[in-house]
Amino acid sequence: PNVVGVGLKNEPRPACSGQHGSLAYNFSELFELAGGNDAPDPHGMKSQGSECVWPQWSSGPQKLQFKLAMERAGKAILNLNPDLLIGVSGLHYSQFLNDVAENPVDLPRERLVYEVHEYYWWRDHAPGGNFDLDIDPEGALNNYTMALDENWGYLLRNGIAPVLVSEFGMSHTWTKEANVLQWFKLWGAYAQGEQGPLAVHGGVDWAYWQLSGVQEGGFRRHEGQEESFGVLNRCWTAPWNDDHFEAIQGLGLTTRRRMDETAVFLSGVGSLFLSRFAMVGVVVSLHAGWV
C-alpha cells in the first residue's frame, strides 16, 4: 500500500497529575503555567480535584499551543517527504476545530487535512432530548447539524479546508441501544444526506474505528478479546455482524480488490481502520477544489 499521509496527534486531551496503573504523573508546573484553576476551558476539559493541563489552539503560553506544535511537527515531516498529507486533529479528543478559520495551521494548503472524530457519547442522545428523532425529526436534525457545523462542519460547508472524520463507530448491538440508534441516524444524515456540508460532493469523507474484530491490548483493552466495535470476524473472512456492516456500507462505502491500489493514511495508534474508500488503512479522498 502507498502511505499518503500522517496524522500528527490522535485525540489531544487533558493530562492530569495522579496515578495511572503503576505510574505516577505530576503536571504541577504545566498546570501553573497554564493558569491553574483559572486556565481557559472552552471545551469543558477540567477535572475537579486534579491538576489538569490541556492545549489551547493558538492562545496562552507557547509551550501549550497546539497549533504551534502541529506546525513544528508537520514541517519536520514534510522536510523528509514533501509529498505526504499532514493530518491535524481537533482539540479535546478530536472534536473541535472552531478556531481554524481565523487561525489555520501554517502548513502548505495542498498538504494539510484536518481530522475529527464523531461518537454518540459526544452529546446526549437520550430519548426526549434535543436530538430525539422520534419526537421532533426536523428539530433533532437541525440541532445536530448546528452542533457539528459549529465544531468543524463549517470548514467544509464554506470551502475553507478539507476535513476527514478519521474515527466514528458503534458496537455490534447498536440497534438495541436507543441513544446509539438515534445518533447513527443523525450522523448518517449529516455525512450523506441533503443537509450535510458536502451533500453535492458525495458526502463527508470518513474512516470507521475499527476494522479488526479482535482487541490488540492497551488501556482498558485485553489482547484477543472481541472488539465490540470491530467490523471483521476473528479470521477476517466476513463481517462480525452483517447488520452492523450493512449500516456502515450505507454511508457510501466502496471497496478495492488489490492492496497495491490502497492508499494509507497513518492516524491513531495500533489499530486498523475501515475507510469509506478501501478495506485496509485510512484513506483520504479530497475534493478537487482543495488540492
The predicted model scores a pTM of 0.89
- Residue 155: which of 205, 197, 212 has the closest Cα? 197
pLDDT at 29: 92
pLDDT at 254: 63
- d(C-alpha 73, C-alpha 247), whole Å: 37
Q: What is the DSSP string of the chain?
A: -EEEEEES-SS---EESEEETTEEE--HHHHHHHTGGGS--TT----TTS-EE--BSS-S-GGGBHHHHHHHHHHHHHHH-TT-EEEEEPHHHHTB-TTTTTS--SS-GGGEEEEEEE-GGGS---TTSTT-TTT-HHHHHHHHHHHHIIIIIHHHHTTS--EEEEEE---TTGGG-HHHHHHHHHHHHHHHSTTSTTGGGTS-EEEEE-S-SB---BTTB-TTSB-TT-SB-TTSSSBS-HHHHHHHHTTT----S-GGG-EEEE-SSS--EEESS-SSS------GGG-
pLDDT at 147: 97
Mean pLDDT by 10 residues, the chain (291 residues): 83 87 85 92 82 94 96 97 95 97 97 96 90 94 97 97 95 94 96 93 91 84 90 93 94 62 58 51 36 29
pLDDT at 126: 86
pLDDT at 192: 93
